[in-house]
Amino acid sequence: MPQVMEFKLPDLGEGLTEAEIVRWLVAVGDVVEVDQPVVEVETAKAMVEVPCPYGGVVTARFGEEGTELPVGAPLITVAVGAGSEPEPAAVAESSGSGNVLVGYGTDHSRPARRKRVARPAAMAAAAVAAPVAAVAAVTAPAPVAPAQASGPVPVISPLVRKLARDNGVDLRALRGSGPEGLILRADVEAALRAPAPAAQAAATPVAAPDGATRIPLKGLRGAVAEKLSRSRREIPEATCWVDADATELMAARAAMNAAAGPKISVLALLARICTAALARYPELNSTVDLAANEIVRLPSVHLGFAAQTERGLVVPVVRDAQSRSPESLSAEFGRLTELARTGKLAPADLTGGTFTLNNYGVFGVDGSTPIINHPEAAMLGVGRIIDKPWVHEGQLAVRKVVQLSLTFDHRVCDGGAAGGFLRYVADCVESPAVLLRSL
């Protein structure tokens, strides 16, 4: 007899708790192989193809395209042939194994395989009974168990520990639903939901006039809303700004690009200036640990930059930007921007930033007071570079002028450090030779 195995939406990592079904890659009755992508989902961070750890015949799918599912909810059931012991493939293997979630691992180009074959009678019968069996197999969240007096807490994931710590959940009081009592994120989330049933009541919709359109605040838009709201709630931010003469910077870039080799973008030059400024003012490359009541200064600059896509605004991250040359920065900006436009950024490309560079000049505006990308401590905004009258060497002249703005967390530094950072950036823009002193 074939065995019907249920595959649930896996933990996609990076704090993600739900995903929206974008496109099914298989249908009921299709034969799937181990690690074959079966569904494309959209998380708050990226589009991800989810591979199935079982091989066999698809007997049921749970959720239509556009449905949002929480982590741990059933995705599909697969009838595995008689005589075989189904062993789920590891979701996170070593690099190059192929046994990874598409979008997190080594193979981003493997096409989804879909084929239909005649099903044996036993599998056909299993297909009819599978939905009922699958529904019965869905279990309730793990209940809270009596607190353990001592001994190790069965938790592996640091994300689970952080979630529990941030929300004041005692892991010793939970009974894990994973293998051998392992505590999963679903167990912590169940504990968070249990004490506050009143919070589960649906809010009263805001009255809207006839003809109004309601757009669900979910996916990327929902994640942006939550992050920006949290930033405004937690961070006492302040903004300072200055106009700078960028004529010499633009001339330096033209000279660089006139030579042989890859072209250098303005964003790459500004990024290199940022990393030099952060070396002088490291308090702006930090984060605030509320649980420990400490400011954490970070050793590396992982530079985020705002990129507008069809899905909305995303912030890809350039790792170890402080050790990159303008040429390397330009190449990495180009690579990540292309992945963002095609929707192929992995969640790892969108997390871990320590400082953000926001070039809103591409929208044709001069200034802005951006909201800090939580949990970072600062963001540099750059307006458009345009010709303006400017006093240069005692004479009125037409120069290329840009407005720079720095929004910073007032907990990590005072105005002196923020002003010093911005002034140094402006000095490098106005006279790129200043940057040579720090190289």
Q: Determine how many CB atoms are found less than 10 A away from the CB of residue 60.
A: 22
| Cα 350 to Cα 426: distance, rounded to the nearest angstrom | 28
Do residues 93 and 99 touch, judged by C-beta distance below 8 A? yes
- Which helix (H) or strand (E) segment holds residue 225: the answer is helix 219-234
C-alpha distances in angstroms, 25 versus 17, 28, 31?
22, 11, 12
- In one-letter notation, the amino acid at residue 377 is A
| Cα 46 to Cα 219: distance, rounded to the nearest angstrom | 9
Residues catalogued as catalytic: 410
Q: Strands, E, within 247-306: which ranges?
A: 286-289, 294-297, 303-305
**Residues with Cβ within 8 Å of residue 95, at least 6 apart in sequence:** 105, 106
Q: For residue 98, give both structure tokens.
A: 């192929």
List residues bridging with 41 in a β-sheet.
Answer: 21, 48
3 state SS for 100-126: ECECCCCCCCCCCCCEECCCCHHHHHH
Do residues 230 and 374 touch, judged by C-beta distance below 8 A? yes
| Cα 164 to Cα 49: distance, rounded to the nearest angstrom | 28
Distance of CA 372 to the CA centre of its chain: 15
Q: For residue 135, give both structure tokens.
A: 């529904």
| Cα 432 to Cα 248: distance, rounded to the nearest angstrom | 7
